[in-house]
Amino acid sequence: MSEMKRFWLVRTEDVSGVAGLGVVAFGIRIASGQCILIWDSLYTSITIFQDISTLEAVHSHNGATKVVWTKPKNVKRVKGALA
């Protein structure tokens, strides 16, 4: 894995009654495979997971929440630049 990749955590059913529906968190998978998850709510928090599988195991709620990979818009890669 060599590139960072952004994602949203999208919930179709609020099992806990806390986070709500739709995009409830966003994050990034870094080059090592670790995932940084940031909750987009009144009680914002940041969690680091070993990998996306672990994040999904904790937050999928039997399919009620899904990871949706996103692509950055209007970003140009420059050869030799750190990204």
Query: Which position has the token pair 């409830």?
Result: 24
Q: Classify 6 as helix, strand or coil.
A: strand
How far apart CA 37 and CA 23 sit, in angstroms, is 12
pTM score above 0.85: no
**21-77: per-residue pLDDT in tens?**
788 899 999 999 999 999 888 888 999 999 999 999 998 878 788 999 987 665 454
